[in-house]
Amino acid sequence: MILLHKKTGKKFYLENKDKDFNTHFGIIKKEDLNKEPGSIVKSHLGEEFIIFEDNFNDIIGYLKLGPQSVHKKDIGLLYSLVPIYSGMKIVEGGTGSGILTSYLANSVKPNGKVYSYEIRKDFYKIAKKNFEKLKLLDYIELKLKDINNGIEEKNVDLIVLDTPDPWNTLNFAYESLKIGGYLASFLPNITSVLKLLDLNEKFLLIGIYENFVRKWEYVRGKVLRPENFEIVHTEFLVLFRRI
Amino acid sequence: MILLHKKTGKKFYLENKDKDFNTHFGIIKKEDLNKEPGSIVKSHLGEEFIIFEDNFNDIIGYLKLGPQSVHKKDIGLLYSLVPIYSGMKIVEGGTGSGILTSYLANSVKPNGKVYSYEIRKDFYKIAKKNFEKLKLLDYIELKLKDINNGIEEKNVDLIVLDTPDPWNTLNFAYESLKIGGYLASFLPNITSVLKLLDLNEKFLLIGIYENFVRKWEYVRGKVLRPENFEIVHTEFLVLFRRI
Amino acid sequence: MILLHKKTGKKFYLENKDKDFNTHFGIIKKEDLNKEPGSIVKSHLGEEFIIFEDNFNDIIGYLKLGPQSVHKKDIGLLYSLVPIYSGMKIVEGGTGSGILTSYLANSVKPNGKVYSYEIRKDFYKIAKKNFEKLKLLDYIELKLKDINNGIEEKNVDLIVLDTPDPWNTLNFAYESLKIGGYLASFLPNITSVLKLLDLNEKFLLIGIYENFVRKWEYVRGKVLRPENFEIVHTEFLVLFRRI
Amino acid sequence: MILLHKKTGKKFYLENKDKDFNTHFGIIKKEDLNKEPGSIVKSHLGEEFIIFEDNFNDIIGYLKLGPQSVHKKDIGLLYSLVPIYSGMKIVEGGTGSGILTSYLANSVKPNGKVYSYEIRKDFYKIAKKNFEKLKLLDYIELKLKDINNGIEEKNVDLIVLDTPDPWNTLNFAYESLKIGGYLASFLPNITSVLKLLDLNEKFLLIGIYENFVRKWEYVRGKVLRPENFEIVHTEFLVLFRRI
């Protein structure tokens, strides 16, 4: 499991460094693949590659994706509202392909743990493989269970829901969270947000948020301008706290 | 150092639990202040308070602020682009009041460290006290030095600059970062962004970003609508990578 | 009724040019105030002023305002969706201080007309005075009536509602509009938008819109950056069409 | 030139009503096409169509487009900053396919005029045809000339530039505008905005603007949410005034 960068910035992800690796910039030999991180190696066409260390941020881009996944910008929004750090105990509803789970587990390691509930067997399998690739299996307990049938964990710091019916989780979440713990729910429709707010009785509402990220394009000496098209809506984030 | 929540959600921050505590909801006795986190205690007016555990996210709101500070939403943006986790080695230019430093240190603990450069003595002192309150002193090395005179750390994972002239740090940053390491610069003006991009020669440009967060207001049974006014501009984030 | 600009760009609005005019840049004499538009005159302190022509866009900034008014940026949004031009027949519900009414009347003149309904006598009076200042009285029929009691006009091109309960106007609006005519409703809350959409049965929904305008700051040779604070929410615009 | 609407809201544009018209909802006979606006006619499949009046807003959607065109939302932005109405004298640089020209001409008729400069013969021809379709030829003088070689019109109310080098037009624009007149420049890159601002010496800067429009999706009884993707950048608008 190595990552290589050519000088253009293109990345390649290898699951196996026991055989030569083919790129359209040429073949890199097995011996070269096993050199120290930071080494520069050449393909048979003379193109230079850099051997990269394992890095969460690089590997996360190469994971297998199932249908549902919280967008990176919204993960950033969650982190800005609820700092997530080593030692936390987190419950997640709706593992999906495990992207958000991986961010969370990567943040709570080495002393914390993420307990993630998923009802679909196919997503469970995809997520499991992704955690393996990221070497995060020790920090995640993946459960093939419906979070709306009950949350087994107690004294939890944070519960994150990426499910279509978070109002069905409200009571279980309240019992599971410690005092001061947070409940975060990602929802694509304002109609669902409204239903969740109306059905909440016990939690303190911290806020309802949306997040837009705008990327700019740059061409040296010529152009600096915002990108023309952007995702302007993914999900609303509703944040509650148990008090 | 305890945090108390009344049922209305109002928080109080205490540096000292060795004497009775006065609030406009009544006085809470010393003995009550020293009960277990999660306990409910009463003021002499019969108002209920909950004793909270120490919590990074609560305490950060009570820190002393100097003039400069990266906005929470922009910290979230950084985390969405460069996951920051236990064990990382980070250099920061421009400690200011130490808010961003604290987020970073809280994320890299218990195995990582943040080396933060600040040229102003008054900011240095404010930041030092804030790190103490957050019990983060073990994970931060605060330096009363100009980052533009050189970066002493090597093999660094991430350098974050909240300085007005990041172009003067480019060469030192390049030498200090490990291969694959990131350089992130926060800048309020597009004119500074342009100068930084034009003067960069060695780094791969990952992107130029802005982040907007929109908060919604909710009144049960009546109103759900976006807040009228919002901060729409704080800083641009320019992200480079050493390859 | 004249407008004067000093070289700094500051504007002054005069209702009366029959006497000398005092500014903190000095006094301008009556004789000077009555010179040709475009003339440059001097105050007794030697400061230069330009005599401006009557101009809708300058005067609109000096109107008396009551509590409710559609924001300029949202007027622009309406114009981008439904071009408004000479000869149109428009009905408005909720005159308020008459700002939107004035924009509409100014656009439909000299051959069109705006029929505007207002239930509050005090707003009616404010609006009337504003139309007088703008010399738009010939193009506006202001009615002290509740639009939800019926719309007297037929074969209307556009109905614009700035009222809290537009669902009560749906049937009257349908009968009043010509085939192909538009119904535009401004609403601050998404909950009201939802109610209007759910209660609409006859109209074709063209769209639901929001509009953000971002202004940039410029200091020559130094700074170009977005303004820090901005109105990010005023009203949603729901646009229907009779087909 | 008739517009037909089926009950689904689908529109058809006909240049010729002297022969039967084919749609995938059936054939409509010539006799039916010549009925009064507002009539309901049937195709040979029994599907109902409504005969629409000529309408600027419907026809503009069927114009032939060349490569460059100011976006509708930005036209709305311009209208919100500089009301455009009957009788105004406007100069435009960069006709392109004539979309903005058409909006302007439609607003200044019947007493005003738009003088539009275009250097490319192919665009000139496309624009000319579009003006014909919209019956706006009387209100537009289209010139196959470079606006940077001089502006022939004097005492102009507004000059709008959709050209890549507006700084080359500054002096001519100043001479052409009346006192109080506006100069509006649409520019896609912030680098061009900066150049224009730096090179401007005579004009008062009113503002630098961007405009975002967000559209929401609605499915009755189910969903109300913002659209996922949106154009977030088209052009900046720089607005100056001659004082």
Question: Residue C175's CB: how many other CB atoms inside 10 A?
Answer: 12
Cβ contact, residue pair D232, A227, below 8 Å? yes
Which residue would you say has higher pLDDT here, A147 or C232?
A: A147
The one-character DSSP state at A63 is: S
**Residues C165-210: tens digit of each pLDDT:** 999 999 999 999 998 899 999 999 999 999 999 999 999 999 999 9
Contacting residues of B for C214, CB less than 8 Å apart: 232-233
Cβ contact, residue pair B191, D194, below 8 Å? yes
The arithmetic mean of pLDDT across residues A56-72, rounded, is: 81
**Residue ranges of chain D whose pLDDT lies below 50:** none
CB of D209 less than 8 A from some CB of C: yes
CB of B165 less than 8 A from some CB of C: no
CB of B189 less than 8 A from some CB of D: no
- Taking each helix axis as running N to C, give the angle between helix D99-108 and helix D72-81, from 0 to 180 degrees, rounded to the nearest 10: 40
Contacting residues of D for B191, CB less than 8 Å apart: 194
pLDDT of residue B10 exceeding 80: no
Interface test with D, best of A216, A222, A233 (most D CBs within 10 A): A233
How far lies D228's CA from each of A188, C5, C78, in Å? 10, 46, 22
- The interface predicted TM-score of the complex, written ipTM, equals 0.91
Interface test with C, best of D156, D218, D220 (most C CBs within 10 A): D218
What beta strand segments (E) does C56-147 contain? Answer: 89-93, 113-117, 140-143
Which of D191, D227, D233 lies at the smallest CB-CB distance from A233? D227
> Quick one: pLDDT at residue C36?
82
**Residues C113-129: tens digit of each pLDDT:** 999 999 999 999 999 99
Token pair in block for residue C131: 């139309």
Interface test with B, best of C232, C237, C238 (most B CBs within 10 A): C232
> Quick one: pLDDT at residue C79?
97
Distance of residue D74 Cα from the nearest chain A Cα, in angstroms: 14
d(CA A21, CA B35) in angstroms, rounded, equals: 62
Size of interface B-D (CB pairs under 8 A): 6
User: What mean pLDDT is reported for chain B?
Assistant: 91
Q: Tens of pLDDT along chain C (243 residues)? A: 566 766 677 788 887 788 888 888 888 898 888 888 878 888 899 888 888 777 788 888 778 777 668 999 999 999 999 999 999 999 999 999 999 999 999 999 999 999 999 999 999 999 999 999 999 999 999 999 999 999 999 999 999 999 999 999 999 999 999 988 999 999 999 999 999 999 999 999 999 999 999 999 999 988 999 999 888 899 999 999 998
Distance of residue B26 Cα from the nearest chain A Cα, in angstroms: 19
> Quick one: pLDDT at residue B116?
98
**Residues A149-205: tens digit of each pLDDT:** 999 999 999 999 999 999 999 999 999 999 889 999 999 999 999 999 999 999 999
| Feature table: binding site of B for S-adenosyl-L-methionine | 97-100, 118, 146, 162
**Residues D201-217: tens digit of each pLDDT:** 999 999 999 999 999 99
Contact residues for C87 (Cβ-Cβ < 8 A; gap 6+):
C108, C111, C112
Neighbouring chains to C with at least 3 Cβ pairs closer than 8 Å: A, B, D
> Quick one: pLDDT at residue D202?
94
CB of A8 less than 8 A from some CB of C: no
C97 in a known ligand binding site: yes
Cβ contact, residue pair C224, D193, below 8 Å? yes
d(CA B126, CA B118) in angstroms, rounded, equals: 11
> Quick one: pLDDT at residue D152?
97
d(CA C138, CA C87) in angstroms, rounded, equals: 13
**Residues A205-218: tens digit of each pLDDT:** 999 999 999 999 99
d(CA D122, CA D118) in angstroms, rounded, equals: 10
Name D48's bridge partners. Answer: D42
Cβ contact, residue pair C191, A191, below 8 Å? no
d(CA A141, CA A90) in angstroms, rounded, equals: 10
Q: B212 to chain C: nearest residue by CA?
A: C232
D118 in a known ligand binding site: yes
> Quick one: pLDDT at residue A68?
66
Distance of residue C146 Cα from the nearest chain D Cα, in angstroms: 28
pLDDT of residue A140 exceeding 90: yes
d(CA C90, CA D226) in angstroms, rounded, equals: 29
Q: Which amino acid is at B123?
A: F
Query: In this predicted structure, which of A30-34, B188-192, C2-6, C143-147 has the lowest mean pLDDT?
Result: C2-6
pLDDT of residue A90 exceeding 90: yes
Which of A38, A58, A210 lies at the smallest CB-CB distance from B214? A210
**Residues D49-91: tens digit of each pLDDT:** 888 777 788 888 778 777 668 999 999 999 999 999 999 999 9
> Quick one: pLDDT at residue A108?
97
Which residue would you say has higher pLDDT here, A82 or A47?
A: A82
Contacting residues of D for A227, CB less than 8 Å apart: 232-233
CB of D194 less than 8 A from some CB of B: yes
CB of D179 less than 8 A from some CB of A: no
The one-character DSSP state at A168 is: G
The one-character DSSP state at D73 is: H
d(CA D103, CA B130) in angstroms, rounded, equals: 58
Distance of residue D115 Cα from the nearest chain C Cα, in angstroms: 19
> Quick one: pLDDT at residue B68?
66
d(CA A101, CA A123) in angstroms, rounded, equals: 12
CB of A191 less than 8 A from some CB of C: yes
pLDDT of residue A79 exceeding 90: yes
For chain B, list the domains and their CATH numbers.
2-54 (3.10.330.20), 63-241 (3.40.50.150)
Distance of residue D94 Cα from the nearest chain A Cα, in angstroms: 21
d(CA A85, CA B109) in angstroms, rounded, equals: 8
The arithmetic mean of pLDDT across residues B139-160, rounded, is: 98
**Residues B43-92: tens digit of each pLDDT:** 899 888 888 777 788 888 778 777 668 999 999 999 999 999 999 999 99
Q: A241 to chain B: nearest residue by CA?
A: B9
The residue with tokens 């011996």 is A31
Cβ contact, residue pair C229, B226, below 8 Å? no
D146 in a known ligand binding site: yes
Contact residues for B16 (Cβ-Cβ < 8 A; gap 6+):
none
Report the residue count for chain D. 243
Cβ contact, residue pair C216, D198, below 8 Å? no
CB of C217 less than 8 A from some CB of B: no
How far lies A177's CA from each of A80, A107, A112, A180, A198, in Å? 20, 19, 15, 8, 21
CB of D12 less than 8 A from some CB of C: no
For chain A, how long is the longest CA-to-CA vector?
A: 66
Judge whether C159 and C177 are in contact, CB under 8 Å.
yes
Neighbouring chains to A with at least 3 Cβ pairs closer than 8 Å: B, C, D
CB of A215 less than 8 A from some CB of D: no
